[in-house]
């Protein structure tokens, strides 16, 4: 069986008893970065053999692991943090296992976008998960599409690109569209700030540095709340 095992995104206490038990009892753990995961395994006294499985080698080694699973081996798949397959390596192996009729189970556990979405205070009965935007080609096309959605949408962003992304959102969504910047989830300096895009830009422009992994949650176009319809108010203020 392939076990898809979420690991903590911050506080190590977020791991479940079931995850620890699974990692102790499988024959092999496939980890995105064995150095990072090694610290987690050492903390919980997990001595299971571990091998690297990441974006640079998954095509090359995937078939071998599928064969081992078909022969009866129990394998756990983990990423550096959160649930494997969500903006992390693992999707290709999971797809291959589905196609080969390998028995699988995905344990519930930590993932960054759910606490960010809930803590934002924005409507979350319907939402669209985008993950990371393209850095160059197709980026503006995706932003225009997202800003026309009626549902809340969720992005992942790096600290050094946060301001650029907020300004691009203001350009396409309007400066009064509400959004949340949620960073360092489940860590010591966790922060969730919800406001208009204009005020979020002013806030983060005033900071000497921005650190931590970031989730952006943006209100949908026609959802109720403190969003006012604008006519060309975004103009070119945040245009690069």
Given a cut of 50, whether residue 227 has pLDDT beyond it is no
Same domain for 7 and 90?
yes
Domain hosting residue 204, numbered range: 113-218
Taking the C-alpha atoms of residue 122 and residue 120, their distance in angstroms, rounded to an integer, is 5
Given a cut of 90, whether residue 187 has pLDDT beyond it is yes
Given a cut of 80, whether residue 174 has pLDDT beyond it is yes
Given a cut of 90, whether residue 98 has pLDDT beyond it is yes
pLDDT tens column, 50-62:
999 887 787 888 8
Give the domain CATH number at 143. 3.30.950.10
Read off the pLDDT of each residue in 90-97 and give the average, rounded to a whole number. 91
Instruction: Assign 236 a pLDDT band (cuts: 50, 70, 90).
Output: very low
Instruction: Assign 224 a pLDDT band (cuts: 50, 70, 90).
Output: low
Same domain for 50 and 95?
yes
Instruction: Assign 231 a pLDDT band (cuts: 50, 70, 90).
Output: very low
Structurally, the chain folds into a number of domains equal to: 2
pTM: 0.85
* Of the residues 78, 106, 134, the one at which a domain ends: 106
Give the domain CATH number at 63. 3.40.1010.10
Given a cut of 90, whether residue 229 has pLDDT beyond it is no
């Amino acid at each position: 069986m392939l076990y898809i095992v979420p690991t903590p995104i911050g506080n190590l206490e977020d791991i479940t008893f079931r995850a620890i038990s699974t990692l102790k009892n499988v024959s092999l753990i496939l980890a995105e970065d064995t150095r990072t995961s090694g610290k987690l395994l050492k903390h919980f006294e997990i001595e299971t053999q571990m091998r690297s499985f990441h974006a640079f080698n998954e095509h090359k080694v995937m078939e071998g692991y599928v064969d081992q699973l078909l022969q009866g081996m129990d394998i756990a798949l983990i990423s550096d943090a959160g649930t494997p397959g969500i903006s992390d390596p693992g999707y290709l192996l999971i797809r291959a296992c589905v196609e080969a009729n390998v028995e699988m189970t995905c344990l519930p556990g930590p993932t960054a976008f759910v606490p960010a979405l809930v803590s934002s205070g924005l409507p979350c009965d319907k939402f669209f998960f985008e993950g990371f935007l393209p850095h160059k080609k197709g980026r503006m096309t995706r932003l225009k599409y997202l800003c026309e959605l009626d549902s809340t949408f969720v992005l992942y962003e790096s600290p050094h690109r946060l301001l650029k992304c907020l300004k691009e959102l203001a350009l396409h969504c309007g400066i009064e569209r509400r959004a949340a910047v949620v960073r360092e989830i489940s860590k010591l300096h966790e922060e969730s700030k919800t406001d208009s895009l204009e005020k979020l830009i002013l806030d983060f422009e005033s900071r000497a540095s921005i650190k931590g992994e970031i989730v952006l949650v943006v209100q949908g176009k026609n959802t109720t709340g403190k969003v006012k319809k604008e006519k060309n108010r975004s103009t070119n203020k945040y245009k690069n």
